[in-house]
Chain A
Amino acid sequence: MNCQEALDLLYDIIDKEASEVDVQEVQEHLDKCRDCFGRYQVEQSIQEFIQSKLKQADSTPKLDTLKSRILAGLDEIDQEESTGGESSVPRPFRLPTIVLVAAASIVILLGAAFWGSKIYTHQKYFIPLEQAHWAVSSQLASYENNAQTEALLADADRNYKYNLNRNVGDFVLLGGISETVMGVPMEHFVYSHDTDIISVFLAPASKFTIPTDGEIQVITRSNTKLFDHNCRGCRLIFQKIGQTIVITATTNHSLDLPDFIPGRSVI
């Protein structure tokens, strides 16, 4: 083993990721090479130093209060689950409405203060979509899979040339309604799985333009360009398919929304 080969393994060895054979060979090299030995020694002591300093407890660990907060949270979940079969009903949103209203008004206030800023973009485009998505919780009955939904699915096929799947991964289509968001007529479909809800909006590209400014990130999934808005309150994915804008929305950030493909174009 030469010096370069020995140094290439430096961090693997410090992180205890190197194979036994490698460790053996490096050891043999270090026995003969003073330079490499010095470098290994210094790197090892830097590593030990940093780790020991990092592991020193922080000055204000409030573990007891944190633990009681966590236990109270668990109690709440236990209660929810034991109060008679409610767990079979999707519980779409985790924040009480009042928190949401407060959050929305804070954003609106900030929006007024920073007119023309990124927050303004958020207020203009994202809050209406977010609110339409949140509104699902109070109107869940109107999203039930019924004749209206059948008619809407047929409309989606005909008017939007978009064929929606009834099942997307673990998610099942609950139903849909027509509504106007930001002055644009949209069809709003709702999917659920356990306690999670995903909204799918279909809008005509002639009336709705995907916002590309503000907190929008362009990402690519299976060669498709997606416009991703990910904020603390909700996540929205915009996509243009033919003459249709497909918008998916959720408030659960742990869902892989970019991988949620509600349907396909029938063009």
Chain B
Amino acid sequence: MTNGKAIELEKRKAFEQEALPHMEALLRTALRMTKNQNDAEDLVQETYIKAYRFWDKFEPGSNCRAWLFKIMTNIFINNYRSKSRSPMSVNVDEIDDSFLYGQLATSPGADNPEQELFAKIFDDDVKKAIEELPEDFRIVVVLSFLEGFSYQEIADITDLQLGTVKSRLHRGRKLLQKELYDYAVRNGYIKDKTL
């Protein structure tokens, strides 16, 4: 075996050990980003191919998970995000902070109105609500809520300022609460008090 081949094998082994275990996490985030199984799988595959090509740029010991998410977010933003960005139907700034709390706190009766509401909402409803968020908000919300990245890690992954990350997360949160509320009203789980 030539020395070159031995180095190749070492590289492959290190890559498989360090990078491949993050596949499941990358895929679940890719699904929320692309909203579609095929695109999500393509996105994850592209991410790994690119990561492998640039593996020599990865600093051993640094955060491999964040590095992979940065590569994936980059490919998503450049190649996958929908070209026709639909204008937002609601003005986020008109939604109150702690929107759900405001709606639920005035519910008569129940001690924990939110728990009663949660019991009626399905897993897929929450995923759909996330997917309804405008892309800019959705990316930071998913990285935070689903992957548990810190504000600073999200800023590094998305190449955004820390303040922009916080503001998008805040606005994304409000929109998400509003969507869940509207969903619950539509399905008759709660009565709309904003009317």
- Evaluate whether A53 and B24 lie within 8 angstroms (CB atoms) in the complex, with A74-B48, A74-B52, A78-B12 already known: no
- Evaluate whether A42 and B100 lie within 8 angstroms (CB atoms) in the complex, with A17-B150, A17-B151, A232-B79 already known: yes
Q: For residue B162, give the distance in angstroms from its CB to the closest CB of chain A.
A: 10
Query: Among the listed B4, B27, B145, B173, which residue makes an inter-chain contact with A63, where contact means beta carbons less than 8 Å apart?
Result: B27
Interface residues of A, dominant DSSP: helix
Please tell me if the beta carbons of B31 and A58 are within 8 angstroms of each other in the complex.
Answer: yes
> Could you tell me which residues of chain B, from 128 to 181, have a CB within 8 Å of some CB in chain A?
130, 142, 144-146, 150-151, 169-170, 173, 176-177, 180
Q: Does A32 reach chain B (CB closer than 8 Å)?
A: no
Q: For residue B194, give the distance in angstroms from its CB to the closest CB of chain A.
A: 17
Please tell me if the beta carbons of A10 and B98 are within 8 angstroms of each other in the complex.
Answer: yes
Q: Closest A-chain residue to B112, C-beta based?
A: A45
Q: Closest A-chain residue to B122, C-beta based?
A: A53
Q: Does A163 reach chain B (CB closer than 8 Å)?
A: no
Inside 8 A of B53's CB, which chain A residues have their CB? 77, 195
Inside 8 A of A158's CB, which chain B residues have their CB? none
Q: Closest B-chain residue to A235, C-beta based?
A: B78
- Measured as residues with beta carbon below 8 angstroms from the partner, the interface class of chain A is 35 or more
Q: Does A54 reach chain B (CB closer than 8 Å)?
A: yes
Q: For residue A221, give the distance in angstroms from its CB to the closest CB of chain B.
A: 14
Of the candidates B37, B98, B177, the one having the most CB atoms from chain A within 10 angstroms of its own CB is B98
Q: What separation, in Å, do the CA atoms of A15 and B130 have in the docked complex?
A: 18
Query: Among the listed A50, A77, A215, which residue makes an inter-chain contact with B49, where contact means beta carbons less than 8 Å apart?
Result: A77
Query: Among the listed B48, B123, B151, which residue makes an inter-chain contact with A73, where contact means beta carbons less than 8 Å apart?
Result: B48
Q: Does B121 reach chain A (CB closer than 8 Å)?
A: yes
Please tell me if the beta carbons of A15 and B28 are within 8 angstroms of each other in the complex.
Answer: no
Q: Closest A-chain residue to B104, C-beta based?
A: A42
Inside 8 A of B176's CB, which chain A residues have their CB? 50
Q: Closest A-chain residue to B37, C-beta based?
A: A60
Query: Among the listed B41, B98, B104, B125, which residue makes an inter-chain contact with A62, where contact means beta carbons less than 8 Å apart?
Result: B41
Please tell me if the beta carbons of A67 and B144 are within 8 angstroms of each other in the complex.
Answer: no
Q: Closest B-chain residue to A231, C-beta based?
A: B83
Inside 8 A of A66's CB, which chain B residues have their CB? 23, 27, 41, 44-45
Q: Does B183 reach chain A (CB closer than 8 Å)?
A: no
> Could you tell me which residues of chain B, from 2 to 23, have a CB within 8 Å of some CB in chain A?
4-5, 8, 12, 15-16, 20, 23
Please tell me if the beta carbons of B20 and A70 are within 8 angstroms of each other in the complex.
Answer: yes
Please tell me if the beta carbons of B100 and A70 are within 8 angstroms of each other in the complex.
Answer: no
Q: Does A38 reach chain B (CB closer than 8 Å)?
A: yes
Contact string against B for A residues 28-46, beta-carbon threshold 8 Å, 1 for contact and 0 otherwise? 0000000000110011011
Q: What separation, in Å, do the CA atoms of A195 and B146 have in the docked complex?
A: 34
Contact string against A for B residues 91-122, beta-carbon threshold 8 Å, 1 for contact and 0 otherwise? 00000011011001100000010110010011
Instruction: Offer 18 A-B interface pairs, CB within 8 angstroms, sorted by A.
Output: A7-B97, A11-B170, A15-B144, A42-B98, A42-B105, A45-B118, A51-B145, A53-B121, A54-B142, A63-B23, A63-B24, A66-B27, A74-B12, A195-B53, A230-B78, A253-B75, A253-B79, A254-B71
Given A42-B114, A58-B28, A69-B41, 12 additional A-B pairs, CB 8 A: A15-B144, A49-B121, A57-B28, A61-B27, A62-B41, A63-B23, A66-B41, A73-B45, A73-B48, A78-B8, A82-B8, A253-B74
Residues of chain B having any CB pair with chain A under 8 Å: 4-5, 8, 12, 15-16, 20, 23-24, 27-28, 31-32, 37, 41, 44-45, 48-50, 52-53, 71, 74-75, 78-79, 83, 97-98, 100-101, 104-105, 112, 114-115, 118, 121-123, 125-127, 130, 142, 144-146, 150-151, 169-170, 173, 176-177, 180
